[in-house]
Amino acid sequence: MNPMVKNDPKNILLLVGSILAVLLGLIAGGGTILLGVVGFFVGGSASGNPAWVLAGTFFGLSLLSLPAGWVALRAMRGESLPVSKPSRPFIYGSLILLAVVLAIGSLAFQGNVLTAVLGPPAHLLAALLPVMALVFVVLRGSPTISQRRGWGHFMAGLWLSPMSAMFLEILAAIPLVLMIFLALNANLGDDLLLRFWEQPELFPAEEAQAMLIGVLSQPLYAGLILAYLGLLVPLIEELIKSIGLLPLIRRQISDAEGFLGGVLAGAGYGLFEALFLGQPGPGWALLMLARGGATMMHMLTAGLTGLGFARAKNNRSFAPLIGYYSLAVGLHALWNVAAVLMGIGVAREVLENANITPTSGAILAIGGSLVMLGLSAGAYIGLRRIPIKLGASEITFEPQISVDDSGSG
């Protein structure tokens, strides 16, 4: 075992990060349970309170962060820990278990059967199992790296990237929110808008919705919202997802390793989104399946950025990084725009003031769905084939990266 690996400060960094992640999840989960208890006494129903699912999500994130700390401790003791390549039964087993979990979750959320008991684990597993299956697929064709490096990529994507992206996206949205507020102010007048904010109960929900849609359906604001979701958000997220690659900035890595590092970071990011964007309700199972497509996109686009990162290092040129990052942003933007258009088409009846005809709504819904299905299929093919192709082209890569050396990155 290389003593440089044993004494690598990245071991301590991963251990500390794992401990902080576990504590953060436990604290957030405990606080959410308190909210659930309050909701039980105020609302009289624990089973329908989403606080239980949210608490289970936080506790699940804590549980998922424990292996990273264990791997870091073993690396600090000098143990060599390569990532094993899973066999096909693991992939098939994950998918079969996913079908069972979706059935149990539907029973809990739609049938209201033991929702507080069955709902939280079903929600966690419905988000986790697709990620596991996809990571297994990628690992089968990827080079061997250390468990510490793999968990480092994943933990960065699970915790650091989502938090950082949300912060930057909120900052970027502030000007847009201010513009919409000023537009509402101009349309409604100071007095009416002030009364709306101070006493919203005096305004029927339909009236408030009509006022907001009336502004958002204007070409200027609709275009700004689409630009924010379709361009600015992908630019931010694809940049932030690469945080997990920063520890490799001084290392010589192969293209396949760069792609794998990005994929693992994207897997963590996709899991975080699936857990918090997939909400319990009548359409929970379909939503969680759709989140599987989004997770594949996050993994592929982050992998492309990682590939560009590796080629930029090896070629000593920023051109590959810029090119692959631009491709990742473009794919992400296409997904977001398709999702927005599909959502508009599905919600046509709600958006009655937006002047969307039934035919236009159907075209938007079907067209957006087809684009997203096509991107999901392409993402799966890319995740399966790209590692194999990169690995085949790098059989003679110099210097050869051993398991011990790969643990130092």
Q: What is the pLDDT of residues 72-93, one digit of tens each?
A: 999 888 876 777 788 888 889 9
Q: Is the pLDDT of residue 379 over 60?
A: yes
Residue at 97: amino acid letter: L
Q: What percent of the chain has pLDDT over 90?
A: 51
Separation CA 184–CA 212 (nearest Å): 7
Look at residue 134 in the predicted model and tell me its pLDDT.
Answer: 95
Write the secondary structure of 137-172 as one string of H (helix), E (strand) and C (coil). Answer: HHHHCCCCCEHHHHHHHHHHHHHHHHHHHHHHHHHH
Residue 154 counted as domain residue: yes
- 193: confidence class by pLDDT, cuts 50, 70, 90: low
pLDDT band at 208 (very low <50, low <70, confident <90, very high): low
Instruction: Report the length, in residues, of the chain.
Output: 409
Residue 397: the pLDDT is 37
Judge contact between 27 and 59, C-beta under 8 A. Answer: no
In a domain, 130, yes or no: yes
On the question of pLDDT at 257 being above 70, the answer is: yes
pLDDT (mean) for 171-179: 89
Question: Is there a domain that residue 39 lies in?
Answer: no
Mean pLDDT on 5-17: 83
pLDDT at 61: 96
Q: What is the mean predicted confidence (pLDDT) over 241-262?
A: 89
Looking at the domain assignment, is residue 70 inside a domain?
A: no
| Closest C-alpha to 253, from 408, 84, 80, 75 | 408
CA dihedral 279, 281, 286, 291 (to 10 degrees): 0
Q: Measuring CA to CA, how many Å separate 99 from each of 57, 158, 168, 251, 288?
A: 19, 24, 36, 41, 11
> Does the structure show a pLDDT above 60 at 360?
yes
pTM score > 0.85 for this model?
Answer: yes
- Between 38-47, 118-127, 153-162, the lowest mean confidence (pLDDT) is in 38-47
As for how many domains the chain has, the answer is: 1
User: What is the pLDDT at residue 399?
Assistant: 35
Task: Provide the domain limits for residue 287.
Answer: 83-406
pLDDT at 401: 36
Residue 348 lies in a domain: yes
Is the residue at 135 inside a domain? Answer: yes
- 229 contacts 342 by C-beta, under 8 angstroms: no
**According to the model, what pLDDT value does residue 408 have?**
42
Whether residue 34 contacts residue 111, with contact meaning beta carbons closer than 8 Å, is answered with: no
Q: Please say if the pLDDT value at position 60 is more than 90.
A: yes
Summarised one tens digit per residue, pLDDT across range 117-150 is 888 999 999 999 999 999 999 999 888 888 899 9
Is residue 381 in a domain? yes
Q: Is 378 among the domain residues?
A: yes
* Residue 57, token pair as written in the block: 């999500």
